[in-house]
Amino acid sequence: MSSWLDYTINGLIVGNVYALVAVGLALIFGVSRLINFAQGSIYLVGAYIGWVAVVQLHTPLPLTIIVVAVAAALVGLVIERFGLRPLQNSVRIAPLLATIGISFVLDQLVMLTFSPNPRALPSQLPDVRFQVGGGTIGPLDLLIAGVGITSALLLFVFLRYSKLGWAVRATAQDRDAAMQMGVDVNRVNQAVFGIAAALGGVSGLLVGMYYNQIDTAMSLQATLKGVVAEVVGGAGNVPGAVIGSLLLGLVESYGVAVFGTSYRNLFAFLLLVVVLVLRPNGLFASARQAPPEPLTGTFIAPSRPVRIPRWALLVAAAAFAILPLFPVSFYVLQTLINAWLLGMLALSLTLVAGTIGQVSLGHAALLAIGAYTSALLSLNFSVPVGLAIIGGGLMSAALGTALISPSFRLRGHYVSIATLAIGEIVSLVILNWESVTRGPIGISGIPPLALFGYDLISATSIYWFSFIVMVVLALLQGRLLGSHLGRSFRAIRDDDIAARAYGLSLNRYKSLAFIFGGFAAGVSGGIAAHLYSYINHETFNTQQSILALTVVILGGLGNVVGAIVGSVALVGLPEVFRIAAEYRILIYGIVLLLLVRFRPQGLLGTM
């Protein structure tokens, strides 16, 4: 009995922390219809600024909180001013991609400054527990509750009684009308980003103190949790975000009580997927709203693809095909093999995100499904490696499509959230389903690549194998784009309402796109598994999803040749310039940001 009270208190406290993140997300969504994927990064920055303040400057607690709030607010203002304001009049995909890029840049900067190792963040509060009913409560719990309630009150007063607060609410209701009435929307955005960042930063500080540990992996988790809470409460709904957060805290806490700690995140993401499927407007959404206004062709930048003559493609393909016949180093071949594997993933993502407009952030999950299937087929059932890889592709196509199908009715940002969550679910299931996946130990001793009984061990043979597989997948995809399916996919991307009015079923065509794309990604993962000979639940992570997305944007959305060119560029250029591994993700993030700002159609243009 007492433990249940403890779990309830714990759930409410954690929920309070989520609320600080979720309220910021809700405010930002309210005024700019944007899900700020960088919110978790601000939370991370807040935690590390708090660490500097507490451990190095020995600031007293109230001052620590103020320092963190102010510093985080400044970060928020910088993001708004330099990251998002220039994109105000651009297509809807641009700010979405920009916040993803900003998030990666911030996370990497923190990681490079403080190293990825976890650090202790002492709470500066006496370590006592008070008996409350049957449970206990500590001063830190009271502090978190106090900060949560105080911020809620301050926010309420600000929104209700200050002039700027009115402007925020007016902008949230009708941006155009507010602008016509003289509301300075830039100031509103600034205010909202500042407040959201301050709350997010303080939240990071409190969580760090609560667990007495901070590390750079906190960021993505916080974004996900905040987004879950916000979506559960109804995007843009500030009180809804608070209730959603408390609910999420309780669900997690009770889930942990029943099933154990390693399942904590699984409940959060399952809650998200269930809410997205059953009540995509959140638990507290009002009755059905008027159907959304046309958003014709505004999701991606209109552009004409750069036409590359067929002979040029043939010459390039031939040149890469005969490359191993020349005395090139093992290192060059190794780099290009990586580029071909990434190329397959990028082909998959460019179809899904570019051609049919479902910006997937969980694409690495498709790699993982393909890799585990292929590895287990060859190890447990002695399936020949070539067939096992095809099996991996098919499993990825089938399972990936089935997992993603609940999100087929969603649009824009919601698809990205849902795919991000599904990616996390796949990784958590791999971690926890020990009887099949061997859990955290991973799978070792995966047989090497082989074809018709011959092992492909030499770099040259692996190079040819992966190159040919990628070229075949690219040719098939090109053929697909030239068929009625290509135009159907693109029509759904440009305007799903008009597409439905002409008889295109979204479920059917999104499924077909994911089946085709899932196969390509699964094959890439399968090949990788046999190449690496060891995989675990972290081999295929969100960083790879983001890298693939950067490749796709770089090459041009939906552009098959662009996906391959982008892969070679992003794998090859860091090698050419000998950029150290830890700086690469930072550079990918910056490349993504620059592209979104200056060349949204990518190098070769949108197809």
Partner 1 sequence: MAEQHTTMLSLRGLTRRFGGLTAVNAIDLDLAKGQLVSIIGPNGAGKTTLFNLVTGLDRPDAGEVRFEGQDITGLSPERLAAGGIARTFQLGRVFGNLSVMDNVLIGAHTRLRAVKPAVPLIGPLLELGLALLRPASVRAEEERLREEVKAILARFGERLLPRIDQPAYSLSYANRRRVEIARALALKPRLLLLDEPTAGMNPTETTEMQGLVAELKAEGLTILLIEHKLEMVMRLSDRVIVMDEGKKIAEGPGEVVRGDPKVIEAYLGHGLSGKAEQESAA
| 270 makes contact with partner 1 (CB under 8 A) | no
Window 275-314: contact mask with partner 1 (x via CB under 8 A)? -----------xxxxxx-xx-xxx-x-xxx----------
Distance CA 186, CA 259 (A): 47
DSSP-derived 3-state class of residue 412: helix
Measured between alpha carbons, how far is residue 417 from residues 98, 103, 346, 350, 458 in Å? 15, 14, 19, 18, 41
Report the residue number, 173 or 262, with the smaller CB distance to partner 1: 173
Report the residue number, 444 or 483, with the smaller CB distance to partner 1: 483
Report the residue number, 150 or 296, with the smaller CB distance to partner 1: 296
- Contact assessment for residue 61 and residue 125, using Cβ atoms and an 8 Å cutoff: yes
Q: Minimum CB separation from partner 1 for residue 86, in Å? A: 22
Distance CA 120, CA 209 (A): 8
Q: Minimum CB separation from partner 1 for residue 563, in Å? A: 17
Full DSSP string of 418-439: HHHHHHHHHHHHHHH-HHHH-G
Report the residue number, 321 or 512, with the smaller CB distance to partner 1: 512
Residues 509, 514, 517, 522, Cα dihedral to 10° = -150
Residue whose C-alpha is closest to residue 266's, from 537, 574, 545, 554? 537
| 350 makes contact with partner 1 (CB under 8 A) | no
Report the residue number, 187 or 508, with the smaller CB distance to partner 1: 508
Q: Report the residue from 1, 503, 581, 598 that binds partner 1 according to the rule CB under 8 A.
A: 503
> Where in 516-555 is the site for partner 1 (CB under 8 A)?
516
Report the residue number, 363 or 490, with the smaller CB distance to partner 1: 490
Q: Minimum CB separation from partner 1 for residue 172, in Å? A: 17
Contacts of 149 (CB under 8 A, 6+ apart): none
| 129 makes contact with partner 1 (CB under 8 A) | no
Facing residues of 443 across strands? 535
Q: Minimum CB separation from partner 1 for residue 48, in Å? A: 42
Full DSSP string of 235-297: TT-HHHHHHHHHHHHHHHHHHHHHH-GGGHHHHHHHHHHHHHHH-TT-TT--SPPPPPPP-TT
Q: Minimum CB separation from partner 1 for residue 77, in Å? A: 34
User: Which pair of tokens denotes residue 115?
Assistant: 């190293």
- SS3 breakdown of the chain: % helix, strand, coil, rounded to 5? 75, 0, 25
User: Which pair of tokens denotes residue 61?
Assistant: 């607690």
| 495 makes contact with partner 1 (CB under 8 A) | yes
> Where in 452-481 is the site for partner 1 (CB under 8 A)?
476, 479-480
Q: Minimum CB separation from partner 1 for residue 480, in Å? A: 6
Q: Report the residue from 71, 140, 143, 499 that binds partner 1 according to the rule CB under 8 A.
A: 499
Question: Binding segment for partner 1 among 77-85, 411-419, 504-512, 524-532 (CB under 8 A)?
Answer: 504-512
How many positions of this chain bind partner 1 (CB under 8 A)? 43
Report the residue number, 291 or 327, with the smaller CB distance to partner 1: 291
DSSP-derived 3-state class of residue 165: helix
- Under DSSP, the state recorded for 449 is P
Distance CA 408, CA 47 (A): 36
Q: Minimum CB separation from partner 1 for residue 607, in Å? A: 8
| 494 makes contact with partner 1 (CB under 8 A) | yes
Report the residue number, 43 or 489, with the smaller CB distance to partner 1: 489
Question: Binding segment for partner 1 among 192-200, 385-393, 494-502, 588-596 (CB under 8 A)?
Answer: 494-502
Q: What are phi and psi of 131, to 5 degrees?
A: -80, 125
Binding site for partner 1 (CB under 8 A): 286-291, 293-294, 296-298, 300, 302-304, 476, 479-480, 483-485, 487-488, 490-491, 493-495, 497-505, 508, 511-512, 515-516, 606
